[in-house]
Amino acid sequence: MTVAYEVRETNGAEARFVWDYGATDERLRALYERGKTAQWNAAVDIAWDAGVGVPGQADPAGARSPFGWSASCPVPREEWGAFQWEFHSWMTSQFLHGEQGALLATSRLVTMAPDLDTKMFAASQVTDEARHVEAYARYVDLLGNSYAVNPSLKRMLDTVVAESRWDIVFLGMQIIVEGLALAAFRFEHTRSFDPVIAQLTQLVARDEARHVAFGLLALQEIYGELTSHERADREEFVKEAALLMSRRFRLEEVWARLDVDVAAGTNYALQDQKMIDFRRLMFTKIVTSLAKVGLLTAGVRTHLEQLELLRTLPPRGRAL
Ligand SMILES: [Fe+2]
Ligand SMILES: [Fe+2]
């Protein structure tokens, strides 16, 4: 078997042993318990042969995009069906790549986290992420139409898996990447044009909600005690991450696959109100999570406004 892989150097993160096995954080331990009882099996708990990706006869006409066609779209109306198929294939491919990032990042958290409860929950999350990779890989394979990892998502994942400060691994993965994934999975579930992706995203979203809750629990505590310099560092990280995560929705690879002028397609993605609304929807969970950990500061809020990622503005003066 030939295995293609890519090596990323990490920045010398420390492995931490914890010798006090008695001290527990009850909230983290309860989340860990929930994680143990909420396991499911991607091989048998999904009705794999019910959707648009029936083996050997995938149905591109069955795909729907989360936004409608607009007159300014560089894809002609009669080819919108082809766009929807490519968008769906691209989106689910990025879910898959993001899940692999989560698998790698979470395994690092087991090693890096400074307390046992965090290590144990992170370990249960590693199992969840392996299942998510399994499920999305199978789904994308059934579609028979896949995309490589988007360059902006790749940069984000590279940053997270190389980071040596464990709280920034948390912030990048549990709050930003998983927050976007949670909004996307819930949205995919409610659209449910394909029973397989509806069922898959519902099961995955349940796990992701636990993972985001884990990130919030871990960060709320320590982010109350940051120095102004440390806080500024985290703010800069959030700004860069938001830029990368919104850039992935320029859809360059989709326009290229459809033989549409990439500059025209990117411009459309940036300007079209339906696509702006879609990106805002994708960022809703990230924004509320940032507010909860005290990182929706005036500077971060202004940055998100400039990127047109804020859907509703939380009252000013909160969580600064
Ligand atoms: Fe996941
Ligand atoms: Fe996750």
Residues 12-66 have pLDDT tens digits of 677 899 998 887 889 999 999 999 999 999 999 999 987 666 655 566 777 777 7
Domain ranges across the chain:
28-306
Residue that is written with structure tokens 């940036």 in the block: 270
Instruction: For residue 245, give the nearest of 285, 210, 211 by alpha carbon.
Output: 285
Q: How far is ligand 2, taken at its centre, from the CA of residue 174, in Å?
A: 7
User: Of 260, 222, 215, which Cα lies nearest the Cα of 86?
Assistant: 260
User: Which residues line ion ligand 1, judged by CB < 5 Å?
Assistant: 99, 102, 129, 132
- Ligand with an atom nearest the CA of residue 109: 2
The pLDDT mean for the chain works out to 88
Q: Is the pLDDT of residue 293 over 60?
A: yes
Confidence of residue 232 (pLDDT cuts 50, 70, 90): very high
| Interatomic CA distance for residues 198 and 115, integer angstroms | 36
Distance (angstroms) between ligand 2 centre and the Cα of 76 equals 37
The model's pTM is 0.90
Contact 94, 248 (CB under 8 A): yes
List % helix, strand, coil for the chain (3-state, nearest 5).
70, 0, 30
Tens of pLDDT, residue by residue over 211-230, are 989 988 989 888 988 899 99
How far is ligand 2, taken at its centre, from the CA of residue 244, in Å? 19
Tens digit of pLDDT for each residue in 251-268?
999 999 999 999 999 999
Distance (angstroms) between ligand 1 centre and the Cα of 307 equals 26
Distance 283 CA to ligand 2 centre (A): 16
CB 198 within 8 A of CB 189: yes
Q: Which ligand is nearest to the CA of 129?
A: 1
State in Å: Cα 111 to ligand 1 middle: 19
How many angstroms is it from 212 CA to the middle of ligand 2?
A: 7
- Give 100 Cα–ligand 1 centroid separation in angstroms: 8
Sign of the C-alpha dihedral, residues 255, 305, 161, 33? Answer: negative
pLDDT for residue 192 is more than 70: no
Ligand 1 centroid–CA 95 distance in Å is: 8
C-alpha of residue 205 to centroid of ligand 1, in Å = 8
Give the distance (Å) from ligand 2 centre to CA of residue 33: 16
DSSP 15: P
Among the bound ligands, the one closest to the CA of 178: 2
pLDDT in tens, 68-116: 888 899 999 999 989 999 999 999 999 999 999 999 999 999 998 888 9
Q: Which residues contact 186 (CB under 8 A, 6 or more apart)?
A: 201, 205
Query: What burial class does residue 154 get, using C-beta atoms within 10 Å of its C-beta: 0-12 exposed, 13-18 middle, 19+ buried?
Result: middle
CA 234/CA 34 separation, integer angstroms: 30
Segment 176-198 mean pLDDT: 82
Structure tokens belonging to residue 204: 């995955």
Q: How far is the CA of 259 from the centre of ligand 1 (A)?
A: 32
**What's the 132 CA to ligand 2 centre distance in angstroms?**
8
Domain 28-306 belongs in CATH node 1.20.1260.10? no
Ligand nearest to the CA of 95: 1
Q: Which ligand is nearest to the CA of 125?
A: 2
Q: Ligand 2 center to residue 314 CA distance, Å?
A: 26
Ligand 1 centroid–CA 99 distance in Å is 5
DSSP 8-class letter at 194: S
Rounded to whole angstroms, the Cα distance separating 245 from 253 reads: 15
Identity of the residue numbered 5: Y
